[in-house]
Amino acid sequence: MNTRAKRLVLPLGGAIAATSMIGATLVSSASAATAPTKKVVSLASATSAQKITDYWTANSGANLKAAAQLTDDSSVSGKVKLGGGDAAPSGKAGTVPPIGQEKITPTKVKNVNLPKTIGKVFFTVGDKEYWCSASSVQSKYHNLVATAGHCVFDEGIQNGALDNWVFIPGYYQGKAPWGIYVGKAAYTHYDFAVYEDYDSDYAFVTVYNGISYAGEKAVSKDTFDKWQGYKYGKDVEISKEEYNKLLDEFGPKAPVFTKPADTQKIVPWNTKDAALATKEVSKDEFDKAPKNDSGVNFQQAPELTQTIIVSEEEYNAYTGPGYKKIVDHAFTITKYFLAYKVEVTSATKYFKTVYYIEYYKDAGRLGDNVGGQGFTWNQKVGQPVYIFGYPAAPHPDGDKPFTGVTPKWCYGKTFAAKPAAAFKAEAQIGLKCSMTAGSSGAPWLLKYSSTKRLGYINGVTSLIGDADANGRIDFSTSPYFDSETYAIYKSASNLWSGKIVTSDGDLVSKA
């Protein structure tokens, strides 16, 4: 991992410790006074959303399965006392109800039912895939996700946002039960996006309509070549009659070939009644061969050339003549073929190549599918909340009780967290909680109803720490949601996103 990534990920490990902290550039009071409240960045246009979708869905979600919690592996040391921070209301308390629920009554039940709204956000830092926790939240167009600011923003990269950002509610081992939602635009406080002030370590992201897997279909070679998602070709044996019919219909571009016996004689290209045969070659051999009939035995067969997306394991294991290249984080192999003529015998077999693509359907709006938590701000510190997240990293002592596969929860009363100078965190709230890294961005739900699985988001996990220095993570913190938080949430909650898949399964960005 590069240096920038390491600087970013330490907070996701969440260690609020007396040592091993990262320095940060302080902002002058003059510049802070004139800075705008919010920072907005575009995450993906409809066109780039197609590529992002392809990146995560290719090869049965290989990149999703390869993702890890964004964290730093260094040990936590030093004793940290709880309490003493400046978290306090900046005005009158307010609430926005969850989707479809005007009022939520907290319930006490023996078993805690997990909210349907939670899931993971996936993104890339450099050439690595990572994830955080997040939740759907109420908005006008039912298209908003709440998570930690450091799970979306990084002021050190080109546009200030992490790449290939998607939200998958209910994600489980490569499966997306309610679809994949590509981020469109992200909102956070200016102080976090520019100065990495963790008192504002939150983000609200508008997402496009979800997409869900709709199957695969056979397509023409032209469609196959243009398709940027997962695709493959399958060779099917056919009769000599069908072989000749396809040659008559499509000429040299016909997706057909023969597999003669190894000892079958190669004949000049213009030999009458000879059979067309092909062989896979390297890119260099392909480039040196003639492009069309010039009286020689071998010539290029560009109609058979195909580029396929493979997993990293398949990419590394491949030793054939195909051309290997990493394109936009995707592992690709391009296969080249030369055509030649052979003498027809009883051993000659005839084949055609059938081209397949995976396609997707519009899954609808996020909030319509999984609901959305309510939102609240300027709440009194000391109220009970639930945290729902996906912890995965081991504790500092090496014990690893969590897998990151299934969500976990913590419950208790919030308290004013002790300032953490390394992150400029002076007004955060805390909760006793054993969740390790992977829980960053997890929603803090006030007045949660386990029967309705809904409550009010009152924070998101920002940092974690070891209060008694015994090698065990034992508390989490969140930025305090005040009037400025509400103003940023309100801006994001009124924006429309739209869909990226048409009714016939094509992505909107395709002509």
The C-alpha atoms of residue 64 and residue 246 are separated, in whole angstroms, by: 40
Specify the pTM: 0.73
Nearest-angstrom CA–CA distance, 63 and 127: 11
229/355 same-domain check: yes
| Assigned domain for 473 exists | yes
Residue finishing a domain among 360, 393, 425: 360
Number of domains forming the structure of the chain:
2
Query: Hey, what amino acid is at 487?
Result: A
pLDDT of residue 509: 39
Domain range for 275: 215-360
Residue 511 lies in a domain: no
Regarding whether 330 and 416 lie in a shared domain, the answer is no
One domain, residues 337 and 411: no
Q: Are 93 and 196 members of one domain?
A: yes
Which residue, 360, 375, 396, sits at the end of a domain? 360
237 contacts 350 by C-beta, under 8 angstroms:
yes
Please state, in angstroms and rounded to a whole number, the distance separating the CA atoms of residues 177 and 403.
20
Same domain, 271 and 375: no
Looking at the structure, tell me whether residues 229 and 317 fall in a common domain. yes
Q: Among 89, 335, 353, 94, which Cα is nearest to 220's?
A: 353
Write out residues in the chain with pLDDT < 50, as ranges.
1-36, 72-81, 508-511
The answer on 422 and 317 residing in a single domain is: no
Q: Give the domain CATH number at 453.
A: 2.40.10.120
35 within domain boundaries: yes
**Shared-domain flag, residues 291 and 184:** no
Q: Do 354 and 306 reside in the same domain of the chain?
A: yes
Q: Do 154 and 14 sit in the same domain of this protein? A: yes
3-state DSSP assignment of residue 188: strand
As a whole number of angstroms, the distance between CA 9 and CA 73 comes to 9
- Look at residue 506 and tell me if it is in a domain: no
Q: Does 222 share its domain with 251?
A: yes
119 and 145 share a domain?
A: yes
State the Cα–Cα distance between residues 17 and 34, nearest whole angstrom. Answer: 32
Inside any domain, residue 124 = yes
Helix (H) or strand (E) holding 412: strand 408-413
SS3 sequence of 2-22 = CHHHHHHHHHHHCECCCCCCC
CA neighbor of 472 nearest in space, from 441, 436, 438: 436
- Does 263 fall in a domain? yes
Task: Tell me if 507 is assigned to some domain.
Answer: no
Strand order from edge to edge, sheet including 475-479: 415-416, 428-432, 475-479, 463-465
Q: How confident is the model at residue 184, as a pLDDT?
A: 96
DSSP 438: T
Identify whether 502 is part of a domain.
Answer: no
Amino acid at 491: S
Residue whose pair of structure tokens reads 């030649």 in the numeric block = 340
CA-closest candidate to residue 66, choices 117, 139, 127, 149: 127
For residue 73 the two structure tokens come to 């592996």
Tell me: the pLDDT tens digits for 236-272? 999 988 988 988 888 767 788 777 655 678 888 888 7
- Of the residues 360, 394, 415, the one at which a domain ends: 360
